[in-house]
A and B are shown apart, each in its own frame.
Chain A
Amino acid sequence: MANLSVNIGKLKLKNPVMVASGTFGYAEEFKDFIDLKKLGAIVTKTITLKPRKGNSGPRTCETPAGMLNSIGLENPGIERFIVEKLPILKKTGVPAIISIASEGPPEEFVELTRRLDKIKEVSAIELNISCPNIREKSRLISQDARATYDLVKSVRKVTQKTLITKLSPNVTSVVEIAKAAQDAGSDALSLINTLTGMSIDVDKRRPKIASIVAGLSGPAIKPVAVRMCWEVYRAVDLPIIGMGGIMNTEDALEFLMAGASAVSIGTGNFINPKASVEIIAGLKNYMVKFKINDIKKIVGSLKT
């Protein structure tokens, strides 16, 4: 019997397949299509302290083998999330990882964490310090090692729950930021968030996305994401949740071999709502085929 369980900080997952923040709503959107109980974990759409209306449209556009989005963290805010959305997540029985972000000062991360820390159903907290679509700030926290360290450190002080720091690929050295998160006490790393990009309607001479610059996701970014997992895996001891354009089992295996302990399905959910559960089945088949009894043996197993 193939063992698919993995540990992410204090969190034990029955399999390494999660769904990425912002691509799975609050899980209820997918109940018609898959058995949610099969998932390793569910990462919610990012929650902020106050409700956010998000950016004006158009918010998405298609690109070659990918898509751009600039949603702008539309969410109901922590209060309504706890009352309306958390019970649905609880019912799935799957570990719920709550993604949080601040629209203003970093102190809001601390306040959000304090609120979530008291809730038993919150399995882990993902710090979204890498959303490229909130333009109030010129620079993202995850683009600055010092700011990353300070933020993670301040959040670490108020919770014993598993802390996952989500990193941006829009940096010179992702390793430097990953190390800062590790030094500050992060339990795990999610990488990568979207790559910033643009697309232009040449007839109108206008950007296809209202906010002009947006986040690129989908198969187009997969090689960048795999490379970053590989770099971070070799430099940092924390478990990595790898994501970026995973559409099928083979893609997931690439991330695992590059050093990710778990994977997250993002844009893939939009195209095939069943992608996550198909990948869980696919990983089992791969392990049977290659007589691997524990998925941890695949992690970082790239031959060089």
Chain B
Amino acid sequence: MAYQAKGKILKNSCVGGSYFKLSIFCPKISKAALPGQFVNLKISHGFIPLLRRPISIHNVRGSNVDLLYEVVGKGTELLSRKKAGEELDLIGPLGNGFSARGARRAILVAGGMGVAPLLFLAEKLKKQKPLVLIGAKTRKQILCVKEFEKIGCVVKIATDDGSCGFKGRATDLLKKILVRVTIYACGPKPMLKAVCVIAKAKNMPAQISLEEHMACGIGACLGCVVNTTKGMKRVCKEGPVFDSGEIIW
């Protein structure tokens, strides 16, 4: 069940560079939310920007929904200027999230902003202290390390330029894993594609969270579909989380 609800902004602050963390009081959505799901936000009251902005749920604390976002365009720029006390129109929780069943050890692989939905997942899996691999181009794009560590995760970092952690990609770190694990990944398409290749080679289950342009977020417009082994699937409805074997790249 998804809801269209008003949520009051509790906090909206820069956490470095162009990254922002937004906390919204919205009990209806926080209660129903699962890791990997997203909310669709109406940012302006007017017609510019017209469409909602889909943003994955970063964490849920009681009645609060936390979102981590990067200012990339006019919509998110406008969102970054919203202040505590203002109201937003939200639809959520939307989509099919991560399936965190099974006792097998988990590895979370994040590329850049891909950390956003994985913190919520790590929270759910914290008993087993999952390993988190975070990759980005450079140090400044490595986010949420402290948050993951706080809940008991072991974090390993990879940067393309070597400015932090291992010089290389998060998927290079993943290749070195020898024990059988379940992989949960979110990040740019090339990274997710690499995760699928590794998962297949190692015969490990993997769940990946995709991102596509979407107009409605609720399964009506068919703007966000991807080609899968079971036909065209909507990223907003059957996704954003898919089994790695399902996607036809």
Contact = CB atoms under 8 A, between A and B. Distances in A.
A59 B50 contact: no
Nearest to B226: A57
Given A30-B218, A33-B4, A61-B213, A71 B50 contact: no
Contacts of A247: 47
B232 A32 contact: no
B226 to A, nearest CB: 8
A218 B215 CA distance: 11
Contacts of A33: 2, 4, 91, 218
Contacts of B1: 32
Nearest to A63: B50
A22 B222 CA distance: 9
A79 interface: no
B62 to A, nearest CB: 23
Interface in A37-60: 45, 53-54, 57-60
A71 B51 contact: no
A67 B2 contact: no
A219 B47 contact: yes
A271 B4 CA distance: 11
Interface string A52-95: 01100111111111110101001000000000000000000000
B85 interface: no
A55 to B, nearest CB: 10
B51 A69 contact: no
A69 B51 CA distance: 13
A62 B218 CA distance: 17
Q: What's the dominant secondary structure at chain A's contact region?
A: loop
Chain B binding surface, main DSSP class: loop
A59 B222 contact: yes
Given A23-B221, A273-B91, A69 B4 contact: no
Contact of A273 (B51, B212, B218, B225): B218
B219 interface: yes
Interface in B1-38: 1-4
A58 B91 CA distance: 23
A45 B232 CA distance: 16
B234 to A, nearest CB: 9
B225 A54 contact: yes
Given A62-B50, A74-B225, A67 B4 contact: no
Given A59-B225, A61-B213, A71-B221, A270 B2 contact: no
B47 to A, nearest CB: 4
Contacts of B214: 60
A12 interface: no
A203 interface: no
Nearest to B89: A272
B96 to A, nearest CB: 14
A57 B225 contact: yes
Contacts of A23: 216, 220-221
A71 B220 contact: no
Interface in B182-226: 212-226
A24 B221 CA distance: 7
B103 interface: no
A211 to B, nearest CB: 12
Contacts of B232: 53-54, 74
A29 interface: yes
A248 to B, nearest CB: 11
A271 B50 contact: yes
A271 B42 contact: yes
A270 B3 CA distance: 14
B179 interface: no
A188 B214 CA distance: 32
Contacts of A270: 51-52, 215-217, 220-221
Contacts of B49: 62
B50 A65 contact: yes
A170 interface: no
A269 B222 contact: no
A137 interface: no
Contacts of B178: none
Contacts of A115: none
Nearest to B2: A32
Shortest 5 CB-CB contacts between residues of A and residues of B: A60-B223, A270-B216, A65-B47, A25-B220, A29-B219
18 contacts: A23-B216, A29-B216, A29-B220, A32-B218, A53-B231, A58-B212, A61-B213, A62-B50, A63-B50, A64-B48, A71-B223, A74-B225, A74-B232, A269-B220, A270-B217, A270-B221, A272-B89, A273-B218
Interface of B: 1-4, 42, 47-52, 89, 91, 212-227, 231-232, 237
Given A65-B48, A67-B50, A218-B50, 5 more contacts: A32-B218, A58-B213, A60-B223, A270-B215, A270-B221
